[in-house]
Amino acid sequence: MSTPSRTSIRFTSRSLADGREIIYVDEPGTPERTAEDPRPVEPRVQSGELRHDALVDDWVAVAAHRQHRTFMPPKDECPLCPAGLGSVPSEIPEPDYQVVVFENRFPSYAVTSVGADAPDPTGIFGTRPAVGRCEVVCFTSDHESSFKDLPVERVRTVIDTWAQRTEALGAIPEVEHVFAFENRGKEIGVTLPHPHGQIYAYPYVPDRTKALLEAARRHHERTGRLLGADILAAERADGSRVVVSGTHWTAYVPFAARWPVEVHLAPHRDVPDLPALDDDERDELAVIYRDLLGRLDRYYVEEDGTPVRLPYIAAWQQAPARAGRDVSRLHLQLMSVLRGPGRLKFLAGSESGVGGWVNDVAPERAAARLREVAP
């Protein structure tokens, strides 16, 4: 398996017209980023507030302003295309770019919040400011592309971007957890078709991450080992659900997969988060991750043999900024709601009502299909 050689990349921070930060991530030899945002200066959109759900001891962000965000615009009105290509002003002032990160115009969490501290923020009607940060990560300036179509060197640049932003956002005092993810496909709820992902910096540890931490801590207290490492070792030893394995990474369909198509990708070394990956691990990750995304788009075919462009969520499960880092272990969760061409897995009564998951696809069968559609 060949991996790309790596040289340093450049991060350039600039400001948009409303004061939001935009960061250009460029490979060597790229001219300096100097373009100004030509849009008129407008007040920044504030985030909403966090409300405490006392029934389950969790938090819900109420951000009503997001109802007005851009929804599935035509290509010539895409705000993520470079400046000058469309009929509306772009979020990105440069005429071309490689990878770009900027603060979301319609954030769920932001440094400026309309919420106010309550006397008891965890009470029945407890509220607190939705302080944090939401960032958009544009993978390419090519509107018609997809993550799997990126050259391996560009995938590596995105990985370095995720790592740098995880470290920077995790250093913000109010931030408790950093979550990098990509939604692809209208079935997932994507509002902009341009290839992009997001990074959420939460002022609390979200429920799913909290559950992962609690299970990992119980396992560590019982065995003295990391749960993620033991699961990976067991999957590699069994082998029936392994999709691809390299020197530093293994991808497998989990034994108790919840989604019709679900793959976990884990490093062989115990690391808590993306910043902890070394150069060799990042190099191989770029190759294997791109490989997996290509397999997803060959997983289903129409009756005429046409491959189905699979909607998916790619979610990086990593250690919180402070709590539980001693028992956390990095892994990627790739999942799709599609259980067949044109057929969606709906989270109906059992899943939505009580969290009782039912999967119609045997994980071993899914793994066999993913191995079958190798490049």
Quick check: is 68 in a domain? Answer: yes
Residue 7: the pLDDT is 59
Quick check: is 4 in a domain? Answer: no
278 and 294 in a single domain? The answer is yes
177 and 295 in a single domain? The answer is no
173 and 222 in a single domain? The answer is no
Quick check: is 1 in a domain? Answer: no
Using the 3D structure, point to which of 184, 204, 224 is the last residue of a domain.
Answer: 204
pLDDT tens readout for residues 269-302: 999 999 999 999 999 999 999 999 999 999 999 9
Largest alpha-carbon pair distance within the chain?
62
Q: What CATH code is carried by the domain that includes residue 244?
A: 3.30.428.10
Quick check: is 300 in a domain? Answer: yes
Quick check: is 296 in a domain? Answer: yes
Where residue 239 falls (left for φ over 0; alpha for ψ -120 to 50; beta otherwise) is left
* Helix/strand/coil (H/E/C) assignment for every residue in 7-74: CCCEEEEEECCCCCEEEEEECCCCCCCCCCCCCCCCCCCCECEEEEECCCCEEEEECHHHHHCCCCCC
Residue 263: the pLDDT is 98
In which band, very low, low, confident or very high, does the pLDDT at 42 lie, cut at 50, 70 and 90?
confident
Dist CA 143 CA 6 (whole Å) = 26
54 and 89 in a single domain? The answer is yes
Q: What phi and psi values does residue 364 have, to the nearest 5 degrees? A: -65, -35
Using the 3D structure, point to which of 171, 204, 237 is the last residue of a domain.
Answer: 204
Residue 309: the pLDDT is 96
307 and 213 in a single domain? The answer is yes
Q: Catalytic residue positions?
A: 196
236 and 314 in a single domain? The answer is yes
Dist CA 72 CA 169 (whole Å) = 28
Task: Report whether pLDDT(38) > 90.
Answer: yes
191 and 51 in a single domain? The answer is yes
pLDDT tens readout for residues 121-168: 777 999 999 999 999 999 999 999 999 999 999 999 999 999 999 999
Task: Work out the percent of the chain whose per-residue pLDDT is above 90.
Answer: 86
Claim: this prediction has a pTM higher than 0.85: yes
220 and 196 in a single domain? The answer is no
Quick check: is 273 in a domain? Answer: yes
Encoded tokens for 152: 């391996």
Using the 3D structure, point to which of 154, 173, 204 is the last residue of a domain.
Answer: 204
**Number of domains forming the structure of the chain:** 2
220 and 251 in a single domain? The answer is yes
* Residue 11 CB neighbour total at 10 angstroms: 15
pLDDT tens readout for residues 81-122: 999 888 889 999 999 999 999 999 999 999 865 554 555 677
Quick check: is 5 in a domain? Answer: no
Quick check: is 3 in a domain? Answer: no
296 and 230 in a single domain? The answer is yes
170 and 256 in a single domain? The answer is no
Q: Which residues are annotated as a binding site for Zn(2+)?
A: 78, 81, 143, 194
Task: Report whether pLDDT(256) > 60.
Answer: yes
131 and 252 in a single domain? The answer is no
**Domain of 265, in residue numbers:** 209-372
